[in-house]
Amino acid sequence: MSRGAAILGGGMIAAVHRRAALLAGAEVVGVLASTAQRSREVARDWGVPTGYPDVEAVLADDRVDVVHVCTPNATHAAFAERALAAGKHVICEKPLGVSVAEAERMAAAADRSGLVAAVPFVYRYHPMVREIRERRIAGELGELALVHGSYLQDWMLSPDASGWRVDPELGGRSRAFADIGSHWCDLVEWVSGHRIEELVAATSIAVPDRPATGGPAFSGAGSGERVPVRTEDSAALLFRTGGGVLGSTTVSQVAAGRKNRLWFELDGALGSAVFDQEDPERAWFGGVAGNRVLVRDPEHGGAEQRRLSHLPAGHPQGYAQCFENFVADSYAAVDGEAPDGLPTFADGLRSARLVEAVLAAARTGSWTPV
């Protein structure tokens, strides 16, 4: 069934949502950017019918079945809650809210509505992530003893790099962890089957001041006067899961040469498994008798890995297909299906609680429950 979609936001990630919605069979009927003029410009560039003047126009448009919220973090709650109240399904960028209270309110609104409310924890949709998860569930790794990894980027390495995420009024009190550490935790909890129960954390700011006006996300320098930085560049966590598994992760946006390296390892009594988002076609499986590297292949492996493999083996899939898989499953849910692993507002709330625990642990230096 064809569905009408409206995109809130006109930046890089909004364009990714637009493409994925089109590939999922939706009709993108309009876009709302930062101003009415900007909305018209983006609508023209994208070739969509409508550049909305305001959110009221979006919600009044009977063509719109699904609203994609791709705006700065501080606006997510207001836009998503209003869309749900108007009877629209919602795909809302993370973090779900800039506080636990906002996320709780949004998750409750989604529950009351009965509508699809999804959050793009899209790394769940790499086929080889599904392969590791299925093999873990089948017992191939045995009982887990250790979970560890990192998520490293370098786009904030330059002292002149800036953006709205740096401002806690727009992005929230956490930057690096809320932006990318949230992805790592969601992915590893989902793949391992273990939830983080308590943690101790430390954060650091490598660049004490940055330009007040930011440039494009992931590239370009900011401009204007320099202002103090109040959100972290890096974070390190040590944690225990409810199942007694020890774990750790390091998150940074100032790791030179690392563009988008989400990496994790699960170490079990019978074997280990490794996934690297910058090499997503492969998964490494370790064992005492020898190690194996499995390559994505729609003709072999677990059912979910084959379902999400759209290209033949040796024809690399990456982030774009990962995001497209997520949006396709979101629209399948709108049509009444129940796709495995679709991240919802409940997962967004879980992430908000992890962010809050990390900030609290970094402040007190003590083990903190999630």
State the catalytic residues.
94
**Could you tell me whether strands 144-152 and 261-268 are parallel, antiparallel, or unpaired per DSSP bridges?**
antiparallel
Strand segments, DSSP code E, in 56-184 are 66-69, 89-92, 117-118, 144-152
What φ, ψ does residue 155 adopt, rounded to 5°?
Answer: -70, -15
Q: In the chain, count H helices and then E strands.
A: 12, 17
Q: Please state, in angstroms and rounded to a whole number, the distance separating the CA atoms of residues 198 and 246.
A: 10
Q: Scan for tokens 């959100």, then name that residue.
A: 231
Helix, strand, coil percentages (3-state) for the chain, rounded to 5, are 35, 25, 40
Kindly state the helix (H) or strand (E) to which residue 246 belongs, with its residue range: strand 246-252
What are the CA-CA distances from residue 111 to residues 89, 103, 117, 247 (Å)? Answer: 12, 12, 9, 32
Q: At how many degrees (to 10) do helices 319-334 and 12-23 cross?
A: 60
The secondary structure of residue 155, as a DSSP letter, is: T
CB of 171 closer than 8 Å to CB of 229: no
Q: How many degrees, rounded to 5, is the angle at CA 129 between CA 96 and CA 238?
A: 65
In one-letter notation, the amino acid at residue 26 is: A
Torsion angle of the four alpha carbons 96, 102, 104, 109, in this order, in degrees rounded to the nearest 10: -80
For the chain, state the CA radius of gyration: 20
C-alpha 142: how far from chain center: 28
Listed residue (19, 6, 91, 92) closest to 57, CA to CA: 6
Strand partners, 284: 274, 293
Tokens for 123? 């790394």
What φ, ψ does residue 153 adopt, rounded to 5°?
Answer: -135, 170
Q: Please state, in angstroms and rounded to a whole number, the distance separating the CA atoms of residues 214 and 220.
A: 8
